[in-house]
Structure 1
Amino acid sequence: MSSKPSSSYQPPANQRELVLAWLRRARESQMAHYEMANLLSTRGRWLGVPVILITTVIGTSVFASLSSVEISSGAKIVVGTLSAIAAVLSSLQTFFKYSERSEKHRATAARYGAIRRKLEILYAEHTETAEKHYLDTLREELDRISDESPHVPVSVFERIQKNIFYTGEAQTVRQS
């Protein structure tokens, strides 16, 4: 007979514990999605800013080539190379859709934030007397958000949980 590893998970024993578990899950999901939104936004800028700078240089060199001044073949090669780099970076930016994905995570985080506030009110005021219908509605809303939300890597969730553990709240996550 092999022994199974024990799990520290204990299902909620009562309605108050259930609401607290949902509240924690909503908080972690909200923070993880804000973190992903910030991460993807940063990645988008890392691709977007060089494209802007390179295309500006290329545009300036095109105007310079229209003048009567002769341009060396070395300069033409540099401009051609920069043009190819800008095209590749722009293609990567389009392929990865960082800004679109960032906005989806930001919207999902806001939805988790809205339900988190409902759960906080419920937990603070009258958890034990909450109607089953209201709890069912909240559960369905949490399920819907979870089903419709974009993927968050495990590493991001782990980082959020570590921040919550060490600080009591993930204060390092920017919610901009």
Structure 2
Amino acid sequence: MQTSDMSLGEILNGVGGFMGLYSGAGACMLRDVIFSATLFPLYAHAKEFVPEILSAISGGANVSSILSGIIAGSLAAAPAAFIATPADLIKTRMQQARPETGIDAGDQHEKSNIVFEYKECPPMGRNPFSVGRDIVSNEGASVLFSGAFERVVRSIPQFGVTLALFDVLTSLAEDMGLLA
């Protein structure tokens, strides 16, 4: 289904060629590494102590593994999402970059559906560290954590449920002999 009158060549030219399709890929990997390196160790530790705390709170009653998994995943997701926010902001800025430098966001908004929260787009082909350095020098370090609250609020239920469900399904697969 064609949703645009633009040809593939025009689209590729508009994003800076074939490699322009991957702008921000390095920053995306950096964000994911930071997030995962924080999330999974925290979840592993939280899975051990959350059932004990819930059992103590409920007077020694047996606690659902799903509930304790959701709580452990939620506890792990909050700091992971917060810590990865600067890398996520840098990634987003890099992906919104254009081949020309310094496109006015107002002019660009009329040409596309992209919504910009800042005045200037970084030029394409820059690494995440130079983009981050420019953001801090031009807008201040606090902007690196803009959107952190929203990111944390979204990640808490998302990863609480995802990690708990993964553990439940893994346990079921082991019980059925599907995993060795």
Output the TM-score relative to the length of structure 2. Answer: 0.32
- Larger RCO: Structure 1 or Structure 2 (Cα < 8 Å, ≥ 6 residues apart)? 1
Q: Which has the larger radius of gyration?
A: 1
Output the TM-score relative to the length of structure 1. Answer: 0.32
Structure with a larger share of its residues in helix: 1
